[in-house]
Amino acid sequence: MVARQDQTTDPELLEALLHARRGTAFFARTLNELTDAELDGDSLLPGWTRRHVAAHIGYNARAIARLIEWAATGVETPMYASSDVRDHEISFGATLSPIALRNLFDHSAVHLNVEWRDLPAQAWHHQVRTAQGRIVPASETVWMRTREVWTHAVDLDNGASFADIPEPVLERLLQDITGAWKTRGTDTGLLINITGTDLTSGDTTAQNPTLITGTLPGVTQWATGRGTHAVTATHNGTQLDEAPAAPQWI
């Protein structure tokens, strides 16, 4: 029997799907390396155990699958009924038995992948609404999932790092974050430079900026609010003892 293929033939979309699927596999491997007892340990996210992270990723797949169903059928199916419902789902999921929690991730990931695979090519352009209220084409759900699985694999605090994330994913993630800062005006006075490249972002008009420097993985880690140790900061030509915390991203 010939394996079923994605209905889309758009090369950019297929490449995006590849990053999402590889991220899902990376999260799965990182999760599976944890023992059941280690699921109770803290994640890198304040107030969340590794259980919370796993539950979030499982329910996130279900929520994104609802958007793909919306795109396919035209029947509005929001990601979540409300933010309270989302938070309750995660809290509940964190109480599941280890096997149930792992099954939640596995089954929801397969379901989402099937929804993506079977979505007709033209339906990828149909508009849906994110949990934040943004109106986007269904194709945006691929990026929504990509950043979740790669970033939260690191949050499991089991040896995964931003250096494991593919460069195109890191570049888009950093672009998203700095774009959000610019929209809010929270990047004032911050200039970001990626070591060994000409990539510069942030407040490029600042007369006397604080310059944040580091590798692409290091700067992206800092920009997501996951610590300052991977970057250096200079102001007035003097290196600061510690880089300032990044502006809020989400």
Q: Which domains does the chain have, with CATH numbers?
A: 11-160 (1.20.120.450), 167-239 (3.30.1050.20)
Report pLDDT for 7.
92
DSSP 132: T
Strands, E, within 109-217: which ranges? 127-129, 135-137, 190-194, 200-202, 210-214
Position 238 scores a pLDDT of 84
The pLDDT of residue 200 is 77
pTM > 0.85: yes
Show the tokens assigned to 240.
């600061």
Cα 77 to chain centroid, rounded: 22
> How confident is the model at residue 74, as a pLDDT?
95
CA distances, 167 to each of 2, 29, 217, 218 (Å) = 33, 20, 8, 12
The CA-atom distances, in angstroms, between 187 and each of 59, 122, 167, 184, 249 are 32, 38, 23, 8, 11
The per-residue pLDDT for 3 is 60
Q: What is the pLDDT along the chain (250 residues), one digit of tens a residue?
A: 456 799 999 999 999 999 999 999 999 999 999 999 999 999 999 999 999 999 999 999 999 999 999 999 999 999 998 889 999 999 999 999 999 999 999 999 999 999 999 999 999 999 999 998 999 999 999 999 999 999 999 999 999 999 999 999 999 999 999 999 988 888 888 899 999 887 778 777 878 889 999 999 999 999 999 988 889 999 887 888 888 899 988 7
Instruction: Judge contact between 65 and 81, C-beta under 8 A.
Output: no
